[in-house]
Amino acid sequence: MTDTATDKTVHLNVKVRSATGEEVYFKIKKNTALKKLMDAYCTRENLIPASVRFMFDGNRLKPTDTPEKLDMEDGDMIDASVEQTGGY
Amino acid sequence: MSGIARTRLMNEHKAFRKDHKVGFYGSPEKREDGTSDLFKWICGIPGPIGSIWEGGSYRLIMEFTEDYPSKPPKCKFTPTLPHPNIYPSGTVCLSILNEDKDWRPSLSVKTILEGIQDLLVHPNISDPAQRAAFDTYRDNYEEYERTARLFASQNPPP
């Protein structure tokens, strides 16, 4: 097995897209909790983690989810949006 | 033969996860046992920016048969929308969803959802499906707009 083949089984590339359409790419491990990706995105975009909603395949991401659990594939997209609360 | 619809829907699901417009979502419904029903998708359409529907996210159920993609899916808003071309049941009345009119097998979940989003801002008043919304749209546009904006605020993104 080549290094690339091993890499494919352990890692995958996903993108996070903001509500305004900017895309940020991440290489993540299939069995690492997505909290790491969520935190990294927030740090990079200067956002407060509690204010950001991450959606994948119709569901809201939980920090404890892993790509493996969600059957994520190479090239999949996660949508990020900043929560807003009406009435203030 | 029944494998055609299933394979096509599996491929569409893969493709949709990689590529869809901002604010849209769509995936096969999850059953309680964790498996999913490829023939019933839970989708969402964002109100177009700058329109009276802006700010809302409208939940829509898409139901496919084994005849897909020869025949279109049935598309139904839940709850229904106060719009002239949406039936009180929530069913969307649109030519591309009618196999005797403009349906083409090359359409997909992604393009259907985009087509329905377009319908939100371009109602066809020559073929109304819902009396109340049709009457207010024609006779009292201000009231129609007010109703739409209120509906948008009551249906925020999930």
Residues B9-60 have pLDDT tens digits of 999 999 999 999 999 999 999 999 988 999 999 999 999 999 999 999 999 9
Q: Is B43 noted as a catalytic residue in this protein?
A: no
Contacts of B158 in chain A (CB under 8 A): 55, 60
Q: Give the lowest-confidence range in A47-56, A60-69, B1-10, B104-113.
A: B1-10
The CATH number of whichever domain residue B73 belongs to comes to: 3.10.110.10
B14 touches chain A (CB under 8 A): yes
Asked if residue A88 is part of any domain, the answer here is no
Give residue B52's pLDDT: 97
Confidence of residue A35 (pLDDT cuts 50, 70, 90): very high
Burial of A41 (0-12, 13-18, 19+ CB in 10 A): buried
pLDDT(A7) > 70: no
- Read off the pLDDT of each residue in A31-41 and give the average, rounded to a whole number: 96
The predicted-structure confidence for B58-81, as pLDDT tens digits, reads as follows 999 999 999 999 999 999 999 999
Contact A43, A31 (CB under 8 A): no
Under a CB-based contact definition with an 8 Å cutoff, are residues A53 and A85 in contact? no
**CB–CB contact A55 B27 (8 Å):** no
Please enumerate in sequence order all residues whose Cβ is within 8 A of that of B105, keeping only pairs 6 or more positions apart, or say none.
B69, B70
Out of B19, B25, B42, name the one closest to residue A55 (CB): B25
Beta strands B57-63; B25-30: pairing state: unpaired
Global pTM value? 0.90
Rounded CA separation A36/A63 (Å): 8
pLDDT given at position B43: 98
Q: Give residue A9's pLDDT band: very low, low, confident or very high (50, 70, 90).
A: confident
- Residue B44's nearest CA partner among B130, B112, B128, B133 is B112
Helix (H) or strand (E) run with residue B29 in it? strand B25-30
In chain A, which among 4-43 make CB contacts under 8 A with chain B? 17, 19-21
Determine, yes or no, domain membership for A40.
yes
Instruction: Determine contact: B46 vs chain A, CB below 8 A.
Output: no
Q: Which of residues 85-114 of B touch A (CB under 8 A)?
A: none
Rg (chain B; Cα; Å): 16
CATH number at residue A30: 3.10.20.90
Give, in order, the Cα–Cα distances in Å from B92 to each of A25, A28, B60, B108, B127: 36, 40, 9, 16, 12
* Chain Cα centroid distance, residue A72: 10
Distances from the Cα of A76 to the Cαs of A34, A56, B23, B138, in angstroms?
14, 9, 16, 43
Distance between B139 CA and the closest CA of chain A, angstroms: 31
The domain total for chain A is: 1
d(CA B72, CA B69): 6
The whole domain housing B27 covers: 3-154
**Interchain proximity B23–A19, CB inside 8 Å:** yes
**Considering the domain boundaries, does residue A38 fall inside one?**
yes
Q: How confident is the model at residue A86 (pLDDT cuts 50, 70, 90)?
A: low
In chain A, what percentage of residues exceed pLDDT 70? Answer: 85
Among B22, B27, B153, select the one facing A58 at the smallest CB separation: B27
Which residue among the candidates B43, B93, B97, B109 is catalytic per the annotation?
B93
Residue A49 to residue B145: CA distance in whole angstroms:
35
Total structural domains in chain B? 1
Domain containing A30 equals 4-82
Tell me, yes or no, whether A87 lies in a domain.
no
